[in-house]
Amino acid sequence: MADPADLERLRETLVELDRLRRHERALRLETESLLRALRTLGSAHDADELFDIVVGALRDMVPFETALLVTLGGRGGFRVVRGTAPRLLGMRWSPRALLQRVLDGETVALFDTAQSPDWQTLPKAARAAARSAIMMPVRSQAISGTIVFGHPDAAFFTPAHVHLLKRFTPLIDQALDVMAVRERLEAERLAARLADAGRRKAEAEIRRARDLMESAIGFAPIYLWEIDAELRYAFAEGTAKVLGYAPEELLGRLSIDYFDTQDPPTRAWIAQMERREPFENVVIRRRCKSGGKIWAAVSGVPMFDDRGAFRGYRGITMDVTESTEAKLKLEQMALHDALTGLANRRKFVDRFEPATARMLRSGQPLSLLAVDVDHFKRINDVYGHPAGDEVLIAVGRILDRTVRRTDLAARFGGEEFMVLLENTDAAGAVEVAEKLRLAVAAERFAAGAGETVGVTISIGVATATRDAPPSLDDLIERADHALYAAKLAGRNRVQAED
């Protein structure tokens, strides 16, 4: 008679085998679906057709209700350019923090969009369409953006859906690169019809382009290169379209001469090559034949002969100018006031801590100016808010050009500004404040309809020393008290703290 324990172990083994078979079957079906999608994606001729193919391929695997293609426009803004919800087409896409993560290549999952403050900046129609959302990155030479899949129910999507879309993302990037190569090949075929010799050359380049594309799948290539042990170009392909250089113009030339070797990221990259290390997606500035520069993501691996001697590097360079500049613009927008262009409160707070550390090391005091435009409400009431905005912009410009480059002027909100003065005692801060007050008082500001208006400012001054280093909140409170005293004393004046 069989031992009950053995029977139980046998039963558990059979259950586990069944689970593994089901898991293997699911993986096989998923992989087959991805391969079918890859073959279908390769037939797309433009971004709209590619989006339609993606939506059709994924609908059974990721049961979404809404799918949107959001891309970066010419002015740096993101908009919905295609989607399954016509009412959302053309809508400006505002969640900056989420977009920045997607531009960095992350697939972002929001299992409950109501818990995301960034998502809540979207219009009501977009929020209602998606209580669950997955944002999949779309990054290529021609397009930067995201495909957003949404469902009106919270917690609808699962980690398995996210995993599937992560596997699907490289296929989309590859399809976009195939589209770019196809455009090039079609142009070459057209030229080849003009002469038999041109036809043979075009066919040879088409075969070479196909071989290069297959060897570089997953990198979204722009051009391929090899350099020898002296870091001189030994091979290049695809450089003419991106850089303006024909491949033969680069052969034998020192590769690092085309990069800014004084730039710290470039120096770090060169140091990696000197150590014979591989590198991936090193984003640095690259010079073009026209004299302009692009942002380039450089990836490469060292090559060694059979005896282990270094032979050079082989790699790929991607033009990431559009996505990098979009990321830099998002960072700029996150740290600067949208109206005046001055630093915002967040940047001011970030700057204060290192400034305090420098004060403690050097023993030199730092001062804070609290600046407020006098009777600003009257300007809005009499001339309108556009005139008030122009006054704030002009006052911000005066502050920025009057203080030193090492100082920081920021708008804290409304008509209130702050100026951080390092290595400045109370007397020096009062002198700077007086210069600002006089500069504003001497200006006439546009008020619309050909009218101008004069304004004044009141300034409160507070100073911190190494002997009594305050927190930023304490220093702001002291400067605000001095500002209040200046207001009580008649405005248009500078008041240092007692």
CATH number, domain containing residue 492:
3.30.70.270
- On whether both 228 and 364 belong to a single domain, the answer is no
What count of other Cβ atoms lies within 10 Å of the Cβ of residue 228? Answer: 16
pLDDT, one tens digit per residue, over 67-93 is 888 887 656 678 888 888 888 888 888
- On whether both 489 and 362 belong to a single domain, the answer is yes
What is residue 218's predicted lDDT score, i.e. its pLDDT? 39
pLDDT, one tens digit per residue, over 369-407 is 999 999 999 988 888 888 899 999 999 999 999 999 889
pLDDT, one tens digit per residue, over 204-237 is 776 675 665 555 443 454 788 899 999 999 998 8
Tell me, yes or no, whether 7 lies in a domain: no
- On whether both 264 and 406 belong to a single domain, the answer is no
Tell me, yes or no, whether 207 lies in a domain: no
Tell me, yes or no, whether 18 lies in a domain: no
Given 271, 292, 321, which residue is the final one in a domain? 321
- On whether both 350 and 488 belong to a single domain, the answer is yes
Number of domains in the chain: 3
pLDDT, one tens digit per residue, over 408-441 is 999 988 889 999 999 999 999 999 999 999 999 9
Given 259, 290, 321, which residue is the final one in a domain? 321
SS3 call for 405? coil
Tell me, yes or no, whether 389 lies in a domain: yes
Which CATH number fits the domain that encloses residue 276?
3.30.450.20
**26: Cβ contacts below 8 Å, ≥ 6 apart:** none
- On whether both 303 and 452 belong to a single domain, the answer is no
How many residues appear in the chain? Answer: 498
Residues of the domain holding 352: 336-496
Tell me, yes or no, whether 9 lies in a domain: no
- On whether both 44 and 124 belong to a single domain, the answer is yes
- On whether both 377 and 450 belong to a single domain, the answer is yes
Own/partner pairs for 437-440, CB < 8 Å, 24+ apart? 437/492, 437/493, 437/494, 439/398, 439/402, 440/395, 440/398
- On whether both 352 and 472 belong to a single domain, the answer is yes
- On whether both 317 and 344 belong to a single domain, the answer is no
Rounded Cα gap, residues 470 and 468, in angstroms: 6
Starting at the edge strand found earlier in the chain, the sheet holding 366-373 runs 408-413, 416-421, 366-373, 457-464, 494-496
CB 58 within 8 A of CB 161: no
Distances (CA, A) of 235 to 220, 254, 345: 19, 12, 50
- On whether both 306 and 340 belong to a single domain, the answer is no
Tell me, yes or no, whether 141 lies in a domain: yes
SS3 call for 420? strand
SS3 call for 394? helix
Given 296, 321, 346, which residue is the final one in a domain? 321
- Per DSSP, the residues of 254-313 read BGGGGB-TTSHHHHHHHHHHHTT--EEEEEEEEE-TTS-EEEEEEEEEEEE-TT--EEEE
Tell me, yes or no, whether 16 lies in a domain: no
- On whether both 271 and 239 belong to a single domain, the answer is yes
Q: Structure tokens of 185?
A: 């090949």
- On whether both 263 and 302 belong to a single domain, the answer is yes
